[in-house]
């Protein structure tokens, strides 16, 4: 496999959740080795999500389905401006 960085999650818990969404769509996904290593168990630092290069677009589409709508609502909400 030719693993490429798809995106970076803010922490390991979110990265694991996003990888779960990608895997549920039938796309192999893993966290960047080293990013998810925490001395106390779970890393609170940004974690890169990796997918096989031919699946980058499909994996991004999966994430966009779940992540983009919330971001768009926040940006278009007049109370937040």
The sheet with strand 3-9 has its strands ordered as 3-9, 47-52, 29-31
For residues 63 and 44, what is the distance between their CA atoms, to the nearest angstrom?
21
pTM (2 d.p.): 0.74
pLDDT tens profile 20-66: 999 999 999 999 877 666 556 677 889 999 999 999 999 999 999 88
| Helix, strand, or coil (residue 3) | strand
CATH C-level class of 3-80:
alpha beta
For residues 30 and 51, what is the distance between their CA atoms, to the nearest angstrom?
7
Domain ranges of the chain: 3-80
């Amino acid at each position: 496999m030719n693993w490429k960085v798809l995106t970076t999650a803010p922490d390991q818990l979110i990265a694991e959740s996003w990888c779960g969404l990608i895997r549920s769509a039938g796309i192999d996904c893993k966290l960047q080795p080293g990013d998810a290593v925490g001395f106390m168990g779970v890393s609170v630092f940004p974690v890169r999500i990796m997918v096989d290069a031919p699946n980058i677009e499909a994996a991004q589409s999966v994430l966009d389905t779940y992540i983009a709508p919330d971001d768009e609502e926040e940006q278009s909400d007049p109370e937040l401006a």
